[in-house]
Amino acid sequence: MELEIDIRKTLRSGKRSFHLDVRLRSSGQRIVIYGPSGSGKSLTLKAVAGLMRPDSGRIRLGERILFDSRAGIDLAPQARQVAYLFQDYALFPHLTVRQNIGFGLAAGWLNPRRDMRHEAVDYWLGAFHLEHLAHQFPDELSGGQRQRTALARALASRPQALLLDEPFAALDSALRARMRAELDALQRRLGVPMILITHDEDDVAAFGEHVIGLRGGQVVAEPAACQAVEMAD
Amino acid sequence: MDMAWSALGLSLKVAGWATALNLLLGVGVGFLLARARFPGRDLLDSLLTLPMVMPPTVLGYYLLVVLGRRGWLGSWLQESFGINLIFTWQGAVIAATIVAFPLVFKPARAAFEAVDGQLEQAARVLGVAEIGIFFRVTLPLAWRGILAGVLLAFARALGEFGATLMIAGSIPGKTQTLSVAVYEAVQAGQDEVASTLVLVTSAVCIAVLMAAGRLAPGRIANR
């Protein structure tokens, strides 16, 4: 799958302003956008999902143009067919694990019932070993279980791409290594293209088929420099 | 005693209607003020809060000016539809609705503002339409705060006196609500009637407040 991003965005807060000017193109299955916090990587990922509207530019995912300011194209997040794994998972606190996973499969004004039956929900509950937790609420889950639930919810609607925002930052280091291995195996099995943003070089080592370094809102030529420069700050 | 029950029945009817109207209006306006950015938003919030701080008699006077036979809205309603709201229980509903409105929209606005916007974004990416997000994510997460306000509004509407008296008057069996009946009974020296009415009113108000207290946000606030 080919990803092409060419966007600009200016954010102002009081007297400070931040300029995002990202140009990148990749045909990797596993793209890692790597940079320190405040480098604009989260904004870039949100722009792909349609959660942040760039001032100008163009975003293309495979054959589909998601955003093109000149052509007046700006697909709603609902129409982009991507999955987004939020840093703290953003599970719906009032819904059970089963309802969370089935959320995107139920259209209309009503949430899926607690005892909803759906092939995809059952499949993902099984794939992430969550069957025994199906009726639990998110605040009753451990960090790893929450992440599995969020991944299951993201994948249940068969996305064209999986966007991951610092997926392991909220976990302790032992769990981080395990979830990294789990995601690695899962991605290889499903073959779903993924874009992962991180400031952790272990993520780069595990997933960095194509690594793009970001700093101060711009792509840097040598991604490895990101870490070195951050240390020097 | 018959008078006490008919006054209670009328009060419950008026407060019930006022609460239902406030549920719709308060949730709508609360959501709008929580989410929409427009000039004059703070001014609108202040204006809508006025009924909470203004004397009910002043509100009643404003309502008479607007809804009275010579008022701009009242004369239009009379000429176009033959509707007259003065000295009717429907007029009492309008008075009670306006007086209790801030008690619904204020907590509703706060409850909507407290909903994590990231959850709505997550729902968006999962393909759920905006109206679905409101009913499946935003409203369920805000409803406790809203419901607490709605119960307080019910209690306030039940006790409405000043504006109701000015708009609807005090016609026994027709527009004489509990609180107005208490006043009339005391004026007429009917102490026994007054004390019955007072006990009934107190019991209803305590029950409503206890229900509101149980809905205060707690650990399981989001279920």
- Positions in chain A whose pLDDT score sits under 70: 222-233
pLDDT in tens, B167-191: 888 888 888 888 888 998 899 898 8
Option in B116, B126, B131 nearest A103 (CB):
B126
Domain-embedded: residue A188: no
Domain-embedded: residue B23: yes
Nearest CA in chain A to B221: A94
Domain-embedded: residue B63: no
Domain-embedded: residue A104: yes
| Structural domain total, chain B | 1
Backbone angles phi, psi at B5, to 5 degrees: -70, -40
Judged by CB atoms closer than 8 Å, whether chains meet at A104 and B137 is answered as: no
d(CA A219, CA B24): 50
* In the predicted structure, residue B79 carries a pLDDT above the cut 70: yes
Which of A45, A46, A48, A51 would you mutate first to test chain B, the one with the most B CBs within 10 A? Answer: A51
pLDDT in tens, B107-139: 999 999 999 999 999 999 999 999 999 999 999
Domain-embedded: residue B125: yes
Is the minimum CB–CB distance between B122 and chain A shorter than 8 Å? yes
Judged by CB atoms closer than 8 Å, whether chains meet at A86 and B118 is answered as: yes
> By the 8 A CB rule, do B137 and B184 touch?
no
pTM: 0.84
| Structural domain total, chain A | 1
pLDDT in tens, A143-162: 889 999 999 999 998 899 99
Which of B116, B119, B125 would you mutate first to test chain A, the one with the most A CBs within 10 A? Answer: B125
Whichever domain contains B108, its CATH number is 1.10.3720.10
Domain-embedded: residue B191: yes
Q: Domain range for residue A143? A: 94-158
Local structure of A192: helix, strand or coil: coil
Which residues, at least 6 apart from A78, have a Cβ–Cβ distance to it below 8 Å? B124, B125, B127, B128, B129
A14: which DSSP letter? T
> By the 8 A CB rule, do A219 and A212 touch?
yes
Q: Domain range for residue B190? A: 2-54+88-162+171-214
Is the minimum CB–CB distance between B127 and chain A shorter than 8 Å? yes
First to last CA, chain A: 36
Domain-embedded: residue B77: no
**ipTM, 2 dp:** 0.88
Domain-embedded: residue A110: yes
Domain-embedded: residue B59: no
Is the minimum CB–CB distance between B140 and chain A shorter than 8 Å? yes
Domain-embedded: residue A86: no
d(CA B84, CA B70): 11
A117: which DSSP letter? -
Domain-embedded: residue A98: yes
